[in-house]
A and B are shown apart, each in its own frame.
Chain A
Amino acid sequence: MANALTRRSLLGATALGFFGLQSLASRNRARAAEPDAVTIGWPQDVPSWDPNQRFVPDAQPIFKMVFDQPLDQDPKLKLIPNVVKSWELAADARSLPIELREDVVFHNGDKMTTADFRYTFFERIKAGHKVDIANSWRKVTDIEIVSPTKAVMHFDSPAPTAPQWLAFLGSYVVPKDYMEKTGVDGFRDKPIGSGPYRLAEYELNARIVLERNDAYWGQKAKMRRVTFEIIKDPSARVAATQSGEVDLTISVPVREVQRLKNEPNLDGELNPITRVILLQVRDDLGFADQNVRLAAHHAIDKKALSQAFYGGAAVPLSVPATPGTAAYLDDYRFSYDPELAKQLLAKSGYSIEKPAKFTFASTNGNFPSDYDIARALVQMWKKVGIEADLEVIEYAKYFELNRGAKLPEATLYSFDNATGDPEIFAGYLLNPKMPFSAWKGMEIGQRAIDLFNVANYDERVAGYKTLNKDAVESGASIPLLQSVQTLVRKKNLTYTRYENGWVRADTMAWG
């Protein structure tokens, strides 16, 4: 009798628990989409609500919704007016007159003037605010205010990419009066921009809710409300998309994109973007010999890498630039030629029996398939007579080694450049004066340094085109693939695709 009672109690408790759970539960699958709201699963939170503070590429599509940049880019990355309606870089690139629109208003009703522009790109930096734009705008000596809508930026040396930087990382106009009143900390807690959305709600590492700014000077967004759910784990992002908790997400594994494409209400995309997967190389130690560098490059089957790890969507690259950008060479190909690689190595006395040796570093999980690519490269090199000692490094360790000029001979890296401008691709990668550049050889390096001071755009681009080819042919640069952005969305959610991977909520619509 005691046992029966216990069994009955247990069954009763289980039934109660189940029905209790049901009463707490709600069905999430195929949650009915509100016609004017969208939920986006995003891999990273913003570092802070001061948009000038940190250069974080993943935060830019969110910042662009709340704040305005002086200039913008169209989907093909052509520089276009934004709150700055006209600009003209001087012939010597030492000044940049700009003219603001007259109808731009911050979310608190204050009109945007050149005082705000000067405050953002000059006064804040001079006041010692800890902002990353202090690095990108270090050449600014003054911003001369001509009128509430006209100003002139003055530089201490040629700044040929100043217009590009007005549409790049961290360059958002912040309201001077409001920031001075609230202080930087107060601004971060209650940010004010002039963008198509205002910040309605924010929880650190959890959620960002934006409400449409109906007083926006530009085209009104179709979505009244945009919610970014911060979901850092890629598996959780996949699950959230599949369950319908989010309407769109990015940066999910390639194989998941291919799987989710088969779901009836989802679409998966592998979009090539202006991000280069490459090897940052040194000009000394095991890579002092040009033959070894070139052999290492000729031994890499980039098509196979793309097929194996990106479903064939990643475009093999022969120069450190992506198709469609200014200094990309449409007709130039660096050949995959293992036999040539062996010949080059033989010239320097190396062979499969007596391989060339160097250390090769790679992160694991920093970008999709990084470690897999690294292991594949090691095998490809082995077949021609190169023995690479693969070292896995943490993301934080990469920065320590890179900035301290201690990277090994070759390091696998993924480099983003939303502008597509060649200075930020080849210029940064090959300028030996920049700690970021692993390459310190002056023959190629001096040419990169010189191009930083070329004012004329066409001349500059032509210079980079030649530099790109020469850098590759001397082994100073080993580009591999154009990176792809993985994106999964509900089939009836449309958006405008940008070649730099921006996913802009203000272009989204249900249709």
Chain B
Amino acid sequence: MIVQLLGLFARRLLVAIPILFVVSALVFVVLRVLPVDPAAMSMPPNATKSEIEAKRQEMGLDRPLPEQYAIWLGKTLKGDFGASIHFRRAVSSLIAETLPATIELALLAMLLAAGLGFAGGLLLFHWRGTWRGEAADLGSTMLMSAPDFLWGLLFILAFGVLWPLLPFTGRLASSFARPVHTGFLLLDTLIEGRLDMFLDVLKHMLLPATALGLAFSVPIMRVLRSSLYEIDHADYIRQARLRGVSEKRILLRHALKNAILPTLTLMGVQFGFLFGGTLLIEVIYSYPGLGNLMVDAVRNADLPIIQAVALAYAAVVLVINMIVDGLYLVLNPRLRAA
């Protein structure tokens, strides 16, 4: 199986490279075609025409588009994403500072979405044909109807202001000195052996992660329920019933294992959207991740950051899909046999 997994990862990597090339080229061209002038944005009001023009040349914006892309690509392949126009420091360092926060938030959101989705899916299936099932279905539709940023604002109002139970800005209380190891604060606090800090980080993540994950839990619920419906009529399930196996055991030990596969594929696809959803949530919750950085970059026409972050998002989504495909291989013996 290890060999099969490695083979799968190698094939996915080979496919990922041209995908990233295409994404980078598309983003690059679109940004250059848009009517923004990053040179003008980066100069103060008392700048002269010649100073703005000199800035434009320094940024390479006066060169032909293919040449600009070739220069940028050459540097990117060496890990040099250029310097931010606004922050005037290496883009790679900005991404290194902010990407772990976003990944951590997205993973927690996905975990919550999966937890809620699986629990909800099982309940929806168990309550099928009853009034509870109908009510739960309606509830799940309502959950899905509100966008994540609306949940975000409602949670702040409810749990931050009206019943102030949880913090809603930043990643850690100001009374703690932030540990710096990996950038993944949950991990860093455990490395420091600080359970109090770990819990504080978790508290800070709870509202944004829930806001993000809530809407994504509903499709998981429904796909799981549909898969369970299908599997419910399978021969091996009927045979298990005939042998006197309990419904609970049939559901959890037999049906779920197979029903989970399409759900897993959906989660892989959803993660891409969820990762993109971190943008607005991070702004609302003042969460210092990649999304927050990207919003600043768009406002300031900071092209190097926009390009690099777009590439980072694409890379993360590809990696997640690779992991999901790997999990699929592990859980589905038919694929391993093939």
Cβ–Cβ contact B86 & A54, under 8 A: yes
Chain A residue nearest to B56 (CB atoms) is A403
Name which of A71-79, A173-181, A203-211, A345-353 contacts chain B.
A203-211
Q: Interface digits, A211-243 against B, CB 8 Å rule (1 contact, 0 not)?
A: 000000000000000010111110110011011
Q: Are A169 and B293 in contact (CB under 8 A)?
A: no
Q: Is B239 an interface residue (CB 8 A)?
A: no
Interface pairs A-B: 3 shortest CB-CB: A403-B40, A400-B37, A206-B288
- Cβ contact within 8 Å between B286 and A2: no
- Known A-B contacts A53-B88, A236-B286; the reply to A403 vs B52 at CB < 8 A is yes
Question: Are the C-beta atoms of A433 and B36 separated by less than 8 Å?
Answer: no
The answer to whether A205 touches B203, judged by C-beta atoms less than 8 angstroms apart, is no
**Which of these, A39, A229, A244, contacts B286 with CB under 8 Å?**
A229
Chain B residues in 8 Å Cβ range of A27: 164-165
Nearest-Cβ distance from residue A56 to partner chain B, whole angstroms: 9
A236 CA / B117 CA spacing, docked (Å): 29
Contacts A205-B293, A435-B47 hold; do A395 and B286 have CB atoms under 8 A apart?
no
Which A residues lie within 8 Å of B164 (CB)? 27-29, 243-244
Interface contact A399-B41, CB-CB below 8 Å: yes
Complex Cα gap A48–B87 (Å): 6
Does A396 belong to the interface (CB within 8 Å)?
yes
A25 interfacial contact with B, CB 8 Å? yes
- B 189-207 to A, binary, CB cutoff 8 A, 1 in contact else 0: 0000000000100110010
Given contacts A135-B43, A243-B161, contact A25 B88 (CB under 8 A): no
Of the four ranges (under 10, 10 to 19, 20 to 34, 35 or more), the interface on chain A belongs to 35 or more
What residues of B have a CB within 8 angstroms of the CB of A498 in the complex?
Answer: none
Interface residues of B in 150-180 (CB under 8 A from A): 153, 156-157, 160-161, 164-171, 174, 177-178
Residue of B48, B51, B156, B298 touching A239 (CB-CB under 8 A): B156
Contacts of A201 in B (CB 8 A): 177-178
Residue of chain A at shortest CB distance from B177: A201
Given contacts A229-B170, A397-B35, whether A136 and B89 have CB atoms under 8 Å apart is: no
Given A24-B199, A400-B35, A403-B52, the answer on whether A240 and B169 have CB atoms closer than 8 Å is yes
Q: Say if the beta carbon of B91 comes within 8 Å of chain A.
A: no
- Smallest CB gap from B90: residue in A: A185
B161 neighbours in A (Cβ, 8 Å): 239, 242-243
Name the distance in Å between B303's Cβ and chain A's nearest Cβ: 10
* A residues near B45, Cβ cutoff 8 Å: 55, 428, 434, 436
| A185 to B93 CA separation, bound complex (whole angstroms) | 11
Q: Are B177 and A136 touching (Cβ within 8 A)? A: no
**Could you mark each residue 291-315 of chain A with 1 if its beta carbon is under 8 Å from any beta carbon of chain B, else 0?**
0000000000000000000000000
* Chain B residues with CB below 8 A from A232, complex form: 283, 286, 292, 295
B interface vs A, CB < 8 Å?
A: 35-37, 39-41, 43-49, 51-52, 86-89, 94, 97-98, 123, 126, 153, 156-157, 160-161, 164-171, 174, 177-178, 199, 202-203, 206, 247-248, 283-288, 292-293, 295-296, 298-301
How far apart are B44's CB and chain A's nearest CB, in angstroms?
Answer: 4
CB nearest neighbor in B for A2: B247
Partner of A24, one of B89, B169, B203, B284: B203
Residues 361-387 of chain A: 1 if any B CB is under 8 Å from the residue's CB, otherwise 0? 000000000000000000000000000
Q: A25 and B247 in contact (CB under 8 A), knowing A233-B286, A395-B299, A396-B36? A: no
Beta-carbon contact of A402 and B286 below 8 Å: no
Q: Which has the most chain A C-beta neighbours within 10 Å: B47, B51, B86, B157?
A: B47
Q: Are B46 and A136 in contact (CB under 8 A)?
A: yes
Closest chain-A Cβ to B179's Cβ sits at a distance in Å of 12
A and B contact pairs by CB, cutoff 8 A, 10 listed:
A24-B199, A29-B164, A45-B296, A130-B88, A201-B177, A227-B174, A239-B168, A400-B35, A403-B43, A434-B45
- Asked if B174 and A25 sit within 8 Å, CB to CB, the answer is no
Q: Would B288 and A203 count as touching, CB distance under 8 A? A: yes
- Taking the closest CB of chain B, its distance from the CB of A15, in whole angstroms, is 15
With A48-B89, A436-B45 as known contacts, state yes or no: A207 contacts B285, CB within 8 Å: no
- A437, closest chain B residue (CB): B45
Residue of A nearest to B126 (CB): A6
Is A399 within 8 A of B169, CB to CB? no
What residues on B are CB-neighbors of A48 within 8 Å? Answer: 87-89
Chain B CB within 8 A of A61 CB: no
Report the Cα distance A433→B51, complex, angstroms.
13
Determine which of A25, A204, A434 lies in contact with B46 in the assembled complex, contact meaning CB atoms within 8 Å: A434
CA distance in complex: A235, B52 (Å) = 36
Q: How far is the CA of A201 from the CA of B44 in the complex (A)?
A: 28
Task: Contact check, A55 vs B44: say whether CB atoms are below 8 A apart.
Answer: yes
Which residues of chain B are within 8 angstroms of A255 by Cβ–Cβ distance? none
Set A25, A206, A227, A394: member contacting B171, Cβ < 8 A: A206
CB neighbours of A402 from chain B (8 A): 40
Within 8 A of B (CB), among A454-480: none
**CB–CB B160/A239 < 8 A:** yes
The answer to whether B174 and A204 have CB atoms under 8 Å apart is no
Name the contact of A245 in the complex, choosing from B43, B97, B169, B199 (C-beta under 8 A).
B169
- A394–B48 Cα distance when bound, in Å, is 23
Judge whether A400 and B88 touch: CB under 8 Å. no
Which residue of A has the minimal Cβ distance to B38?
A396
Query: Which A residues are CB-close (under 8 A) to B47?
Result: 135, 403, 435-436
**Contact between chains at A245 and B299 (CB < 8 Å):** no
When the two chains form the complex, which single residue of B98, B156, B199, B300 contacts A396, counting CB atoms closer than 8 Å?
A: B300
Q: How far is the CB of B176 from chain A (nearest CB, A)?
A: 10
**Whole-angstrom distance between the alpha carbons of A39 and B170 in the complex?**
13
Most A C-beta atoms less than 10 A away, residue of B39, B46, B47, B199: B46
CB neighbours of A436 from chain B (8 A): 45-47
For the complex, what is the distance from the CA of A201 to the CA of B41, rounded to whole Å?
Answer: 29
